[in-house]
Amino acid sequence: MGRKSVETLVGVFVLLGMLGLLFLAVKAANLSSFGGGDTYTLVAYFDNIGGLKVRAPVRSAGVTVGRVSAITLDAKRYQGAVRIEIDRGVQFPSDSSARILTSGLLGDQYVGIEPGAQEKNFAPGDEIRQTQSAVVLENLISQFLFSKAADAGTPAATGASGTKK
C-alpha cells in the first residue's frame, strides 16, 4: 500500500469522525429539524411555565409532534405565552388541552397535548384554552412542610390533657 493511499484513508477516517461529532452536537442541542418542516402555530397561556425552554418538545401520547418556538410574558394577562409549532400532518380537536410536564422526576420539561373530542380542529394561530401550568417541585415541598407544621399544632395531635401523646 502506497503512502498516498494511506494518507487518503486517514483523511476519510478523520472526515467521518468530524461528521459524527457534528451529528452528535446537533442531536444534543435539540436542533434535529433545521428547516422546521411544514408546521402550524398554536398559542397556550400558562400561569407558571416552570423550566420550560424554547425548542422543548411538544408531545401527544409520548410521540413528539412539534416544538416550542417562543416563550414570552403576555403584558395584559400576566401569564406566560408559549408559542408552539405543530407538524402539519397532526391535527388536534379545538377542545384539546395542554399541560407542562416533566420527563422523569427531575428531567426536562415539555408540553403535553391531550386531544379533545370536538370535530372541529385547531386552525393556525388558534389559542389552546385549556391549560395546566408546570408543577414546581419547590412549591410541592413547601406545601408539604406547611401542612405538617399545621398538623403538629392542631388539638388532634395532643391528648385530652393537653400533653403530647
pLDDT in tens, 14-43: 999 999 998 888 777 656 555 557 999 999
Q: Which residues are bridge partners to 125 per DSSP?
A: none
Note the pTM of the prediction, 2 decimals. 0.66
pLDDT of residue 4: 85
Look up residue 156 and give its amino acid. Answer: A
For 48, residues 6+ apart whose C-beta sits below 8 A from its C-beta are: 80, 133, 134, 136
pLDDT in tens, 67-79: 999 999 999 999 9
Between CA 42 and CA 70 the distance in angstroms is 11
Q: DSSP H helical segments within the chain, as ranges?
A: 3-28, 137-152
- Parts of the chain with a pLDDT under 70: 1, 29-36, 154-165
Residue 125 backbone class (left: φ over 0; alpha: ψ -120 to 50; beta: rest): left
pLDDT of residue 67: 95
For 68, residues 6+ apart whose C-beta sits below 8 A from its C-beta are: 52, 53, 54, 55, 56, 57, 58, 82, 83, 84, 85, 111
